[in-house]
Amino acid sequence: MMKKIGMSFIALTAITAFAFTTTNAKKDINYTIDTKSTTSTWLGKKVTGEHAGGITISKGNIISDGKTITGGTFEFDMNSITNTDVTDKEYSAKLIGHLKSEDFFSTEKNPTAKFEISKVTLKAGNDYEISGKLTIKGITNEITFPALIKMDAKTVVTVAKITVNRTKFDIKYGSATFFESVGNKAISDDFELNVNVVATAK
């Protein structure tokens, strides 16, 4: 009789513990990127000047445990590249065409680029450091960059300037690192992505 009571007590304790854990377990919050409110611009520099433009973040999400960001992905539409600094329409179109060509992003073969969050570290206040995997032209590299993040139960806003070394993604055109003869036509190995990502919980 005592054995049965003991087993029943153990079973009841296990069921109660399971029910308590299930009831109190917090589900991750999934925020979907609002592509209409999200913006992304690029800046590339060369010896004789610089060029700038935009690129669309076409889709993505951010995952939070309710306290901090734990994951997420951003996808860039590489065929959406625009130029904003050249006023001559013909030259601007030529520049965009060159950026989409095999010399640079090869957008016909690689229409999307992706960034996948692997770690977010709080520095102070709303200042964070984001680490993750950036894939361009099918090549993936780890990158880390500072970001300003504001988050509540409904919305996450992330503002960041991301410096990308293009040569790590086999984009070597005009790079003095690989072609010494380019002289004053050299293009910086680094380009900047300035993103303002707005994501909302469903």
Question: What is the 3-class SS of 15-30, one letter each residue?
Answer: HHHHHHHHHHCCCCEE
What confidence tens digit (pLDDT) does each residue in 116-165 have? 999 999 999 999 999 999 999 999 999 999 999 999 999 999 999 999 99
Which residue is it, tokens 């503002």?
Answer: 159
What confidence tens digit (pLDDT) does each residue in 39-91 have? 999 999 999 999 999 999 999 999 999 889 999 999 999 999 999 999 999 99
The CATH class, in words, for 27-201 is: mainly beta
What is the per-residue pLDDT for 66?
87
In whole angstroms, give the CA distance from residue 60 to residue 75. 6
39-46 and 29-33 as β-strands: parallel, antiparallel, unpaired? unpaired
Written as six digits, the tokens of 171 are 């984009």
Which pLDDT band, with edges at 50, 70 and 90, does 8 fall under? low
- Strand, coil or helix: what is 60? strand
- As beta bridge partners, residue 59 has 75
For residue 112, the one-letter residue type is T
Q: In terms of Cα–Cα distance, which of 102, 188, 162 is closest to 137?
A: 102
Q: In terms of Cα–Cα distance, which of 149, 74, 141, 148 is closest to 114?
A: 74
In whole angstroms, give the CA distance from residue 105 to residue 162. 17
- Strand, coil or helix: what is 110? coil
**Residue 200: pLDDT above 70?**
yes
Q: What's the predicted TM-score (pTM) here?
A: 0.85
